Amino acid sequence: MTSRNAAPDAPAAGGRAGHPWRKRPARFSMSVMDAAGPVFRVESPAAPLRRGRDAIGRPVRIAAPIVRTPPSIRRLAMTNQPPVRPEWTTTIDPILQKELERYVLVTNWEKLLGMVDVVYNWGRRSSLWPLGFGLACCAIEMICTASSRFDIARFGAEVFRGSPRQADLMIVSGTVTKTMMPLIARLYDQMPEPKYVMAMGACASGGGPFKEGYNVVSGVDKHLPVDVYVPGCPPTPQALLNGLIALQRKIDGETIVQAPWYRGGVERDVPIPALGPDLVDLRTVELAAERTAQGLIEKREAGLEKPRLIPAPTADPVDPPPAEAPSGKPVKKPKQAVARPSAVWLGDAGLAELADRLNAELGAGTAAIVQAGLLIPAEKLVDAARFLRDRNPIRYDYLASLQSVHYQDCIEVNYHLDSTSRPGSLILLRVRVAEAEGEGELPSLYHVYRGADLQEREVYDMMGVRFVGHPELKRILMWEGFAYHPLRKDYLEPYYEAPTKVFASRVDEGFGRHVRAEELNPHGTNLKIPQGFKDWASLSGSNDPKGEAPLPGGVQVEELESDQFQVSMGPQHPSTHGVFRMNVRLDGETIVGLKPVMGYMHRNHEKIGERNTFLMNFPFTDRLDYLTSMGNNFGYALAIEQLMGDEAKPPERAEYIRVIMAELTRVASHMWSVGFLLNDLGAFFTPALYAIEERELILDLFEWASGSRMMCNYFRFGGVAADLPPGWLDRCRAIVEDRLDRKIDELDRYLSGNEILLDRTKGVGVLSAEDAVGYSTGGPVLRASGVAYDVRRAAPYGIYDRFEFAVPTGRAGDLYDRYYIRILEMRESVRILKQAVRKIPEGPVLAGKKSYQIKVPAGEAYGRVENPKGELGFYVVADGSAAAYRYHVRSPSFINLTALERMCLGRTIADVVGILGSLDIVLGEVDR
Amino acid sequence: MTIGRGVIRGHAVTLRRFLVTFARDFRDGLALRRRGGGGLLVDLFRGPARGEERVVVQDATTEGLFTVEYPDERLPVYERFRVLPVLVYDDEDGNVRCTSCNICAKVCPPQCIWMVQAKSPKGTVVPLPEDFFIDMDVCMNCGLCAEYCPFDAIKMDQNFELANSERHQTHVFGLQDLLVSSAYYAQTHPEAWSGPEEVAERAKVAKKKDRRLQKALGVEA
């Protein structure tokens, strides 16, 4: 405080730096004061009386000359202090003052502005323009809130803007990942004042169920100021509206006098965090550097129990040495599941024959049978794959899935191959490479199966295994420069507590006090940086380690001196169906290169899945493809039931319920995808609104039976969680028998013949049948290209073999076929549904007794279902413990993206939007 | 001439919907009544009191869908609808049903349940929770805790109107925040409440309590 400011004869102010009037905003009094100099004035009743109390009962006389507030104090004024008028009091009879107030001084500044406030706030709260910005599952509910059933327009908030510069409300809807956080901060900074942030759902509020993940920000309020939190996972549309009302109330309470955005020198922008070895908040970089140098993370980890490594499976299963349990008791030898890669596969005899053939053709030692899979030496992998694809009697032309497992002695990369000409003859190839980090190396199958492209990059990213011959081996889900390969067993996350759940702090005696995960980490946030990291000065929020690399084969534009240029579409783009990004190289308007950039929604599903007990993982699978949670449940249940064997055979009624739920999901998901494909093509929202109607009714059914619209968590091993509630089947029958057909017809009549649609879609984004198979696409994308490959037929699961349905295929493989195939598939689904609701028997819905302690025999399984997006597979390695040793999701959305560039080359940007829409990706599944 | 026919046919669909909407409103109450039993026009100026909002049912027979005017109207809440867990205490004697057996904490997928077992002054474990925490910023509303609770103690609440402006002080629910009465539970979950399993469970508990009471009173068994 300066002497200028402290008036010597002001007893109330002297020596009290915190006295409110000093923090006043200077602005409102200046004009009067400057002219009049020190004045005495009778003003508001509130201020002098309050002042009077402050000054221990004495009449207060403040004769301070009004001085311009120095900037330091003006900055103080940013905090929301109640403004105190700088007009003073003199000793005055309170009765006289009251009379004066009543008859002479009609009002004061606050009251005057209060009237303005009413109008001002009403206007602002009734016209909130949200940023059209969705991150994850919650975004779907946000879109539903905007749709006709809930109609956010009633609150004046329907104008979802694509650009942050036109928006004043950011609804952070979904999991905030580290990869996405810099972009969210940038979007926030671009929004004009006044701006509000709403954290929708548990993830945005505080990290949510994925909080323990290595790529998840523990609440967006770690970086942005949040105005309203909407709890729920996900909040229903009504809950979001409730949050919006809460925000409106908050706005109602604001006054123009205090509004920080009209004050000079107020900087409300947030610094953009940097993607270095981890996401580093630049506000705390010194502290982070200091703590990292001290090795606090390493010290903490030294005291924790690490995940156990198991040896890789061998040809003749010798008993693994009984590992010591932490308690000291020897672990019982786990039961072994029947060795088979999947429920429907080539069979032992066929596999032996195949191994012999490989050994005969490519030299002895090419293939050895290990646990129903062919173990192939790395150097022979490409030859073997070429042989299997081109010369084997069963042409293995379809790489169904590719994943890796970190064992004690090696990292195993394994491949599920299937044949589109003879579906159901799935085989498993195993290739083993060195275990040490960064050592593993094997030849890439990129040139044999193009579908291996993104999947190999994923293995490289997650396990650090290099694929020689892959043209573009870069990190795919995390960013270049991230310090770890997270799916290796020796990587412990920042919030790591124990190798498997249940965490001891929750259940053991003496514990049980609530502790936030942040408190476990020495950095106080989800941060882990190797102790040796020194390059702190280079961290900058403007780095873009995910999308920096030039397009493959591309040349720097400046050097080329042509009219090629590079456009980054996404990750915040209304047409990318989430936080997906495409780096596009254009020559004029023609696309000459396109690279998908993903990982903005990578929320560590697989790593968390290796810590969850088998049962716990169910609700996590809901959040993969959040439009089809029932289908995800189905696939996961199948994988584990394959290991558990007959013990977990669902009863008849449960099988029917599963099929009904899966097919309803397919209709709902296809409705959504058709609606939003049209949206992408420019038919803004009317088709989507029409399509969402039926989806809403189906979601009502889901909510009725399972308790949640989207995150159903309804399946259990050996059945379903609960029987259908009374009356459910009647409504389901009514919807299936009378309603859906009519609605699909309407949608068909409404859209399919539309010339604009035909113009935009016919011959666009063509994928030939050969390419579709080669790129490992699945589901409607594959079938639109004329390949009748449907897992429900190729490898029937559940009771699908009992239903009559066709597998519709397209001919041209263009955008139109991919649209129309979905209409046809909906009809087939309704056909299955009709059969199922007619035949569903009474009876139990769960095999055995309901228990949360599920014993899963050791072994490997690959459960696959035909999800609306394509083949959804769950690859599980169980070691007999309560949790999966390795858990991998073969996600159709992710793998379908491999073919994106192929379809887009030579087309225009506007077509890319439509082509991406026709792939119908869901980012929760792409990035997992 | 085929050009444009498909567009026109498509527009006919939207036009039909547009007209049907008005025709229907006219038919069903001269546009003075809202569909689904919703409010009259006067209600525009007089919102229903809290808890008295109309429930709007939309089912297979509804033509299209119509807007639910939340907060004045609501969708029906299905019994199984789940948001956050709550702990039930019995109205008759005020006993918390939870015995702090930890099963909910053991099945909780994101591990958002913490529980402190009660101890008697002698140090023995008392089958009651001393404290109970649920971090609703982590909870995924999956309902597994309620599903596997052997004592019908933890249940999923249906209140979704939880928006607030602060999370660090308010989003970790302690025991007192979580407790709801059995009457409340019976009201929100009527089917489960009167279902055979819960009735049997309640009878069993009542019998046990009675025996304990008898013992405490010194009555010979």
Place of tokens 């095999």: A847
Taking CB atoms and an 8 Å limit, are A506 and B115 in contact across chains? yes
The pLDDT value recorded for residue A79 is 47
- What is the C-alpha separation between A644 and A638, in angstroms, rounded? 10
Burial A302-312 (b: 16+ CB within 10 A, else e): eeeeebbbbeb
Taking CB atoms and an 8 Å limit, are A512 and B131 in contact across chains? yes
CATH of domain B85-216: 3.30.70.3270
Contacts 24+ apart (CB under 8 A), A31-37: A33/A66, A33/A86, A34/A66, A37/A65, A37/A66
Confidence of residue B31 (pLDDT cuts 50, 70, 90): low
Token pair of A826 as six digits: 């909906």
CA distance A811 to chain B (A): 22
User: Which residues fall within 8 angstroms of residue A118, CB to CB, at 6 or more apart?
Assistant: none
The residues with which B173 forms a beta bridge, in sequence order, are B134
Distance, first Cα to last Cα, chain B:
96
Taken as a whole, chain A contains a residue count of 928
- How far are the Cα atoms of A16, A24, A83, B53 from residue A79, in angstroms, in the given order? 18, 10, 10, 39
Distance of CA B16 to the CA centre of its chain: 39
CA nearest to A748 within chain B: B10
| B164 reaches A (C-beta below 8 A) | yes
Place of tokens 């991919």: A818
The pLDDT value recorded for residue A257 is 75
- How far are the Cα atoms of A278, A458, A877 from residue A214, in angstroms, in the given order? 9, 16, 22
Taking CB atoms and an 8 Å limit, are B110 and A758 in contact across chains? no
The pLDDT value recorded for residue A319 is 52
Instruction: Report chain A residues whose CB lies below 8 A from the CB of B191.
Output: 725-726
The pLDDT value recorded for residue B41 is 57
Taking CB atoms and an 8 Å limit, are A514 and B107 in contact across chains? no
Between A149, A209, A513, which is nearest B138 by CB?
Answer: A209
CA distance B81 to chain A (A): 4
Residues forming CATH 3.30.70.3270 domain(s) in chain B:
85-216
Instruction: Report chain B residues whose CB lies below 8 A from the CB of A721.
Output: 147
State if pTM tops 0.90.
Answer: no
Instruction: Report chain B residues whose CB lies below 8 A from the CB of A507.
Output: 102, 105-106, 115
Beta carbons of A586 and A909 less than 8 angstroms apart: yes
Taking CB atoms and an 8 Å limit, are B117 and A503 in contact across chains? no
The pLDDT value recorded for residue A904 is 87
Nearest-10 Cα torsion for A629, A631, A635, A638: 110
Instruction: Report chain B residues whose CB lies below 8 A from the CB of A501.
Output: 109, 111
CA nearest to A236 within chain B: B160
E-assigned strand segments in A634-774: 715-716, 719-720
- What is the C-alpha separation between B145 and B103, in angstroms, rounded? 7
| B183 reaches A (C-beta below 8 A) | no
Residue A272 CA neighbour count, 13 Å, CB half: 18
Taking CB atoms and an 8 Å limit, are A239 and B160 in contact across chains? yes
- What is the C-alpha separation between A236 and A2, in angstroms, rounded? 55
Taking CB atoms and an 8 Å limit, are A616 and B109 in contact across chains? yes
Beta carbons of A437 and A451 less than 8 angstroms apart: no
Burial B161-194 (b: 16+ CB within 10 A, else e): bbbeeebeeebbbebebbbbebebbeebbeebbe
Beta carbons of A224 and A270 less than 8 angstroms apart: yes
Taking CB atoms and an 8 Å limit, are B163 and A239 in contact across chains? yes
Residue to mutate among A80, A685, A696, A754, with most B CBs inside 10 A, is A754
- What is the C-alpha separation between A755 and B8, in angstroms, rounded? 10
Instruction: Report chain A residues whose CB lies below 8 A from the CB of B75.
Output: 238, 700
- What is the C-alpha separation between A279 and A277, in angstroms, rounded? 7
DSSP A430: E
Residue to mutate among A200, A212, A616, with most B CBs inside 10 A, is A616
Q: 3-state DSSP call for residue A906?
A: coil
More confident: B125 or B14: B14
Place of tokens 């915190």: A18
Instruction: Report chain B residues whose CB lies below 8 A from the CB of A713.
Output: 142-144
- What is the C-alpha separation between A675 and A143, in angstroms, rounded? 12
Question: Would you call the peptide bond into A273 cis, given omega within 30 degrees of 0 as the criterion?
Answer: no
Beta carbons of B107 and A852 less than 8 angstroms apart: yes
- How far are the Cα atoms of A625, A789, B201 from residue A561, in angstroms, in the given order? 43, 46, 80
Residue to mutate among A218, A238, A629, with most B CBs inside 10 A, is A238
The pLDDT value recorded for residue A70 is 45
| ipTM surpasses cut 0.85 | yes
- What is the C-alpha separation between A597 and A618, in angstroms, rounded? 28
CA nearest to A507 within chain B: B102
Angle at B127 between CA B121 and CA B133, to 5 degrees: 95
Between B10, B82, B135, which is nearest A707 by CB?
Answer: B82
- What is the C-alpha separation between A805 and A782, in angstroms, rounded? 18
User: Which residues fall within 8 angstroms of residue A284, CB to CB, at 6 or more apart?
Assistant: none
CA distance B153 to chain A (A): 16
Residue A126, sorted as left (phi over 0), alpha (psi -120 to 50) or beta, turns out to be: alpha
The residues with which B125 forms a beta bridge, in sequence order, are B119
Q: Would you tell me which residues 59-78 of chain B have a C-beta closer than 8 angstroms to some C-beta of chain A?
A: 59-61, 64-71, 74-75, 78
In which residue ranges of chain A is pLDDT below 70?
1-91, 104-110, 264, 266, 316-333, 508-511, 549-563
CA distance B220 to chain A (A): 36
Other CB atoms within 10 A of residue A352 CB? 12
Instruction: Report chain B residues whose CB lies below 8 A from the CB of A242.
Output: 70-71, 160-163
- What is the C-alpha separation between A627 and A673, in angstroms, rounded? 10
Continuous segment of H or E residues that includes residue A861: strand A859-867
Taking CB atoms and an 8 Å limit, are A208 and B140 in contact across chains? yes
CA distance A131 to chain B (A): 20
Between B79, B111, B117, which is nearest A503 by CB?
Answer: B111
E-assigned strand segments in A545-659: 564-569, 581-587, 590-597
Instruction: Evaluate if residue B14 carries a pLDDT over 70.
Output: yes
CA distance B175 to chain A (A): 12
Taking CB atoms and an 8 Å limit, are B163 and A228 in contact across chains? yes
Instruction: Report chain A residues whose CB lies below 8 A from the CB of B61.
Output: 734
Taking CB atoms and an 8 Å limit, are A707 and B78 in contact across chains? yes
- How far are the Cα atoms of A241, A532, B18 from residue B40, in angstroms, in the given order? 22, 70, 22
Place of tokens 């009660």: B118
Instruction: Report chain B residues whose CB lies below 8 A from the CB of A226.
Output: 167
Beta carbons of B112 and B139 less than 8 angstroms apart: yes
Question: Would you call the peptide bond into A502 cis, given omega within 30 degrees of 0 as the criterion?
Answer: yes
The interaxial angle of helices A652-681 and A629-644, nearest 10 deg, is 140
Taken as a whole, chain B contains a residue count of 221
Instruction: Report chain B residues whose CB lies below 8 A from the CB of A514.
Output: 114, 133, 135, 172
Residue to mutate among B21, B106, B117, B125, with most A CBs inside 10 A, is B106
* Residue-wise pLDDT tens digits, A691-717: 888 899 999 999 999 999 999 999 999
Taking CB atoms and an 8 Å limit, are B143 and A502 in contact across chains? no
Q: Would you tell me which residues 18-57 of chain B have a C-beta closer than 8 angstroms to some C-beta of chain A?
A: none
- What is the C-alpha separation between A444 and A452, in angstroms, rounded? 8
